[in-house]
Structure 1
Amino acid sequence: MIKEVDLLVVGSGAAGMCAAIVAKLSGLNVLLIEKSSKIGGTTALSGGGTWIPLNHQGIALGVQDTLEQAELYLDTVIGTDAPKALRSNFLKFGPEMLKFMEQHTEVKFSGRKYSPDYLPTKRGAGTGGRALDPLEFDGRLLGKNFENLKNPLPEFLVFDGMMVNKMDIDLLLRAKTSADGFFHAAKMVTRFALDRLRGYSRGTRLVLGNALAGRLYKSMLDLNIEIVTETAIHSLEKNVAGRVDTAYCQQQGQTLSIIAKKGIVLATGGFPNNLKMRQQYLPAPTGLWSATNPHNTGDGIQAGLGMGAAMGNNVNNGFYSPISQRKRKDGTTANFPHLMLDRYKPGIIMLNAEGKRFVNEANSYHDCGAAQYQSNANPGWIICDAAAMKKYGLGLVRPNPNQTELGGFIQENYLIRANSINELATQIKVKASILEKTLQNYNQDAVTGADREFGKGSNIYNTYLGDPTHAGNPCLAPVDQAPYYAIQIFPGDIGTSAGLVTDEFSRVLDHNQQVISGLYAAGNDMNSIMGGHYPGPGITLGPGLTFGYIAAKHAAGKL
């Protein structure tokens, strides 16, 4: 079977859907293919944070920022580890893309007035305005297509189907102690119950990355963009003029040939679930430790490499995060990313295989995951005491768990519980003398409020996600109240950063840095414009959307 279109987009994450929407609005006949049966890719599983400096939302909030400051920050963090032309186009077209999408589609964001960049001591770092969150979305607007939207990670749901964001969690924890918490919880639970009574497989109130994926999907449906699911790219072909214009795809056991006159955009989400590629590009040892779409196995990258594309090699080839694993009831493995709910909080620390701390636990998830590779913490441990467990939870264990809940996690070997430090040392297989010394040093610093070894809670990003109700340093409290708890953590990721090398217009380059005509890459199929660094929240979605926009505009001859 053969199809002919102007632009073929491969992959239905944020980058792919943005490219398809912008191309359609630019007058092109567009086809988007998706490997799985669901739309949304890793975007639908993500927190949805999107980093775009100088966006109009931040300006409207009164945040003071300048192009010079944003350039200085990225130049300071990235240096020569990635071409400056890429980040220059990101800063130029990111705000334009955001305005375009908000004016012409269902995609809507809210700015964060206060949200420090991840490396706040670097020159040019911002304290707010650069990060955005997708607005809550009513999934009922998708009609029968709601069930085609990829579900979020089940570990991020409550009541087996209700989505919550950080604000919801804060209010739900206050449901028994405050009026605002009670009424918010009642409203959410009532909406969820009605959704289930109406036959929806889960709640239709969408937040985080699922809201962004839903908004993009609704925009595609409104524009009548053709979407073909369960169709995986296999290879590409050039025409007699040397331009890539044909994609060969597998669709339910049949070969589908797609001829794209204006270009092909690869946006299949990188290679986080391809073990062979992980072993080739990530530090050893590695495993399938990714909190991403399981269908992201490097298909787009492999197709591009088959056309002679160059592959990037960054300071870090993954966007790392500590990951804990738990078997689900259906036999699959949950890879839970320790992003924001536990590490930053008082009374919670991370240990390497020797029982020593090795990192400022309140640094970004990427920095903590990278430190695991560098510090004999593969695997490592995240531990807390009874007080921290009650107030904050740990990993998949939610705050103030009852004994039945704790027992379930312990029986599944996800959680370790010990009545003494010696017992904890035995269970996590470290020397008791080393663990006791680690905790003695940490506890002394926690009392004074200054972590002399790693500086936990010493900068505005650390304290942003600490506990503002905790007296003194919002990230520090002694670990000294039995029982003690531990969860094993691996240096996993929320995506891969190594991808196809492109120019500033998303055009894929060969080993001689020459453009491969007709071929574009965006999202995690494109080598990261950050060179493997992680300067802020949403530095995958922000560039993914922006370079999807750039690729579509360029293919349509609109740049």
Structure 2
Amino acid sequence: MSGWDHTTDFLVVGSGAGVVGALRAHALGKDVLVVEKSDLLGGSTCMSGGVMWLPNNPLMQREGVSDSLDTALAYFDSVVGDAGPASSPARRLSYINSGIEMVGFLESEGLKFRRCEGYSDYYAGVRGIEGGSARGRSIEPEIFDKKKLGAWCDRIRPGFAGGMVIYTAEAAPMSLMRTRIGMATMARVGRRTVGGRIRGRKLAANGAALIARLVDALLRREVPIWTESALTDLLVEDCRVVGAVIHRDGRDVRVRARDGILLAAGGFARNEAMRKEHSDGLPVGSDWTSANPGDTGEAIRIAEGLGAATDMLDEAWWMPSWIMPDGTPGMCLSERCKPGSIIVDAKGLRYFNEACSYQEAGQQMYARHREGGAAIPSWLIIDSRHRSRYPFGMAPAGWTPKQLITGGVLKRGDTLEDLARQCDLPADTLRETIERFNLFAENGVDADFHRGEGDHERFYGDRTHQPNPSLGPIEKGPFYAAALYPGDIGTSGGLLCDEFSRVLNADGEPISGLYATGNCTASVMGRKYLGAGASIAASAVFGYVAANHASSDREVN
């Protein structure tokens, strides 16, 4: 095949955490090109906490936090079980072992991380689960001054925290603003935020810090990055993917990739047609997602055209969400884990552990709805103690912006009967549900769903509340309710890959020259979310793995 406009060794499509693959390939002596269809870098990674869940990582080892391959695999087996080829034993081994190597490599490239102490695995301490870590296996990037990026400073997609410079692991303690640890955390975040502005810095934290640090490393290596450059086709020669067509500056550019192409272009959370195609008739909406605007699935479709196999296309990284007055989703995380909160379906019945992982919470909503429970929307109900003590979205404790009420985000009732009427819930059933719940709260033991037993549930609860940090009565009016929908932060099903990140065809054979990572793939986590940063970590790790494999002898490919 001739007529190439540009030639490189390794082409990376997308600029989220998968660009670890670009950095690794260049470190191995390869020519690399990164293309991003948006004008901003970072994709959904930038809009995330930037945390990475990595068992037995070097930071854990240095700080003496006990972990091992066997323990991590036991946790995988216990939580994920048999999830098919996407989470095969070989893929799990590759993820864990390569993750350890990857952190060492990134640190050698100048990236800096910190452990998220106490940010426990999402199933640690849960009944029947083995191998979970209460202290946590997650790390996050240290804060970074984007001014170091020069002309690229304003090309990093904005993060989720607005103007606050806050570590992701600080979010939970900061939500306890009436406590000593909450006030101390708020003061620390405030000093950091204001101090950075006074000094003229453009500080990035969370996912934006991870991407900024990766871009900084790529720029130091002089790796070219093309923005506003969209993948439109993959080119095949002698049964091998040898290049791609990239639409850039109003024309198609044919890029040859001698070693391979890594698809790291995200999922299809914003593609309404694809979402409905794989929803099995259940209500799903691209307007419920918090994924980045470019998460539209073209890379998956193009690879499918080459015979690529897919799996779990009905799955996503679910995040129960309310809908703000402007139509955007508001993610519900700590609110449902705090004492004084409950979630019920349209029949006024409680049906799951409200403090479970956000991934499982969304799955529970769909399962209940499928069974006829009318759980979309469900209702998060809180009392006035909850509202006075804990944040609701971006509203601080004790202050409920008028627009949340007038815009319909929150219903407010002086009594439970009044609230039930506004939410069209059966008042008698709702009261019976809450009375039973309150008995559990008084004793500190949730006999129905075991809320507050898991380490992660307590982490997001209120440690000053006893006897159960996650369980408190709903009894003091006025009462509030928010309609919850199964929002998401991205899809988690896609192309099937092997332990080397090679895309597989329907026969389970690798498509030569084609690699994939991140949300355009079927997740190694199966249908579970094992801990904070599981999706970001998998994207980075399998980008690293792809670079290692593609950079080896081309004949091996």
- TM-score, reference length from structure 2: 0.91
Matches within 5 A, 1:396-407: 396-401=394-399, 405=401, 407=402
2:96 aligns with one of 91, 95, 106: 91
For residue 9 of structure 2, what is the aligned residue in structure 1? 6
For residue 242 of structure 1, what is the aligned residue in structure 2? 239
Deviations 1:421-466 (A, max 9, x none): 1111111111111111111111121112111221111232221221
For residue 144 of structure 2, what is the aligned residue in structure 1? 137
1:187 aligns with one of 185, 191, 202: 191
Cα separation, partners in 2 of 1:130 and 1:501, compared to 1, 3 Å: same
| Conserved 8 A contact 2:336-2:354 | yes
2:81 aligns with one of 73, 79, 82: 79
Counterpart residue identity of residue 244, structure 2: A
Matches within 5 A, 1:38-57: 38-57=40-59
2:421 aligns with one of 422, 426, 436: 426
| Conserved 8 A contact 2:165-2:203 | yes
Counterpart residue identity of residue 7, structure 1: F
1:334 aligns with one of 312, 315, 328: 328
Q: Is the partner of 1:516 in helix, strand or coil?
A: strand
2:154 aligns with one of 147, 165, 168: 147
Deviations 1:238-291 (A, max 9, x none): 01x221112112224322221111111001111111111111223511001211
Query: How many correspondences in the alignment?
Result: 536
1:274 aligns with one of 271, 290, 294: 271
Cα separation, partners in 2 of 1:287 and 1:186, compared to 1, 3 Å: closer
Q: Does 1:27 align with 2:29?
A: yes
CA positional deviation for 1:162: 2.9
Q: Is the partner of 1:375 in helix, strand or coil?
A: helix
Task: Indicate the larger mover: 219-228 or 204-213.
Answer: 204-213
Q: Is the partner of 1:164 in helix, strand or coil?
A: coil
Q: Does 1:256 align with 2:249?
A: no
Matches within 5 A, 1:339-358: 339=333, 341-358=334-351
For residue 291 of structure 2, what is the aligned residue in structure 1? 292
Q: What is the rounded CA distance, in whole Å, between the counterparts of 2:185 and 2:73 in structure 1? A: 41
| Conserved 8 A contact 1:282-1:318 | no
Cα separation, partners in 2 of 1:176 and 1:345, compared to 1, 3 Å: closer
- Consecutive unaligned residues in structure 1, runs of 5 or more: none
Deviations 1:359-385 (A, max 9, x none): 111111111111010113111111101
Q: Does 1:447 align with 2:442?
A: yes
Deviations 1:191-239 (A, max 9, x none): 35437xx5xxxx7222211111111111111111101111111111201
CA positional deviation for 1:115: 3.2
CA positional deviation for 1:172: 8.9
Cα separation, partners in 2 of 1:287 and 1:168, compared to 1, 3 Å: closer
| Conserved 8 A contact 1:352-1:381 | yes
CA positional deviation for 1:57: 0.6
For residue 213 of structure 1, what is the aligned residue in structure 2? 211
| Conserved 8 A contact 1:48-1:133 | yes
Counterpart residue identity of residue 474, structure 2: V
| Conserved 8 A contact 1:61-1:129 | no
- TM-score, reference length from structure 1: 0.91
For residue 114 of structure 2, what is the aligned residue in structure 1? 110
Identity, % of aligned positions:
34
For residue 486 of structure 2, what is the aligned residue in structure 1? 491
Cα separation, partners in 2 of 1:556 and 1:150, compared to 1, 3 Å: same
Cα separation, partners in 2 of 1:95 and 1:226, compared to 1, 3 Å: same
CA positional deviation for 1:182: 7.5
CA positional deviation for 1:387: 0.8
2:358 aligns with one of 365, 376, 379: 365
Q: What is the rounded CA distance, in whole Å, between the counterparts of 1:176 and 1:365 in structure 2? A: 25
| Conserved 8 A contact 2:500-2:549 | yes
Deviations 1:12-58 (A, max 9, x none): 0001x101111111111111110110011111000122111111111
Q: What is the rounded CA distance, in whole Å, between the counterparts of 2:171 and 2:352 in structure 1? A: 30
Q: Is the partner of 2:484 in helix, strand or coil?
A: strand
Counterpart residue identity of residue 520, structure 1: Y
Q: Is the partner of 1:58 in helix, strand or coil?
A: helix
Q: Is the partner of 2:122 in helix, strand or coil?
A: coil
Q: Is the partner of 2:243 in helix, strand or coil?
A: strand
Q: Is the partner of 1:490 in helix, strand or coil?
A: strand
* CA-atom RMSD in angstroms: 2.2
Q: What is the rounded CA distance, in whole Å, between the counterparts of 1:306 and 1:250 in structure 2? A: 18
- Consecutive unaligned residues in structure 2, runs of 5 or more: 370-374
Deviations 1:458-491 (A, max 9, x none): 2322212210111321111111111111111111
Counterpart residue identity of residue 31, structure 1: L
Q: What is the rounded CA distance, in whole Å, between the counterparts of 1:168 and 1:384 in structure 2? A: 20
CA positional deviation for 1:140: 2.2
For residue 372 of structure 2, what is the aligned residue in structure 1? none
Counterpart residue identity of residue 380, structure 1: S
For residue 551 of structure 1, what is the aligned residue in structure 2? 546
Q: Is the partner of 1:417 in helix, strand or coil?
A: strand
Cα separation, partners in 2 of 1:124 and 1:162, compared to 1, 3 Å: closer
Q: Is the partner of 1:258 in helix, strand or coil?
A: strand
| Conserved 8 A contact 2:319-2:488 | yes
Q: Is the partner of 1:343 in helix, strand or coil?
A: helix
Q: What is the rounded CA distance, in whole Å, between the counterparts of 1:99 and 1:186 in structure 2? A: 32
2:132 aligns with one of 125, 138, 144: 125
Counterpart residue identity of residue 294, structure 2: H
Cα separation, partners in 2 of 1:188 and 1:176, compared to 1, 3 Å: farther
CA positional deviation for 1:163: 3.4
Q: What is the rounded CA distance, in whole Å, between the counterparts of 1:74 and 1:92 in structure 2? A: 14
Cα separation, partners in 2 of 1:171 and 1:291, compared to 1, 3 Å: closer
CA positional deviation for 1:188: 3.2
For residue 308 of structure 1, what is the aligned residue in structure 2? 307
Q: What is the rounded CA distance, in whole Å, between the counterparts of 2:279 and 2:54 in structure 1? A: 27
| Conserved 8 A contact 1:175-1:182 | no
Q: What is the rounded CA distance, in whole Å, between the counterparts of 1:549 and 1:60 in structure 2? A: 22
Matches within 5 A, 1:155-194: 156-157=161-162, 161-165=163-167, 166-167=169-170, 170=173, 180=184, 184=188, 187-191=191-195, 193-194=197-198
Counterpart residue identity of residue 416, structure 1: K
Q: Does 1:387 align with 2:389?
A: no
Q: What is the rounded CA distance, in whole Å, between the counterparts of 2:482 and 2:393 in structure 1? A: 8
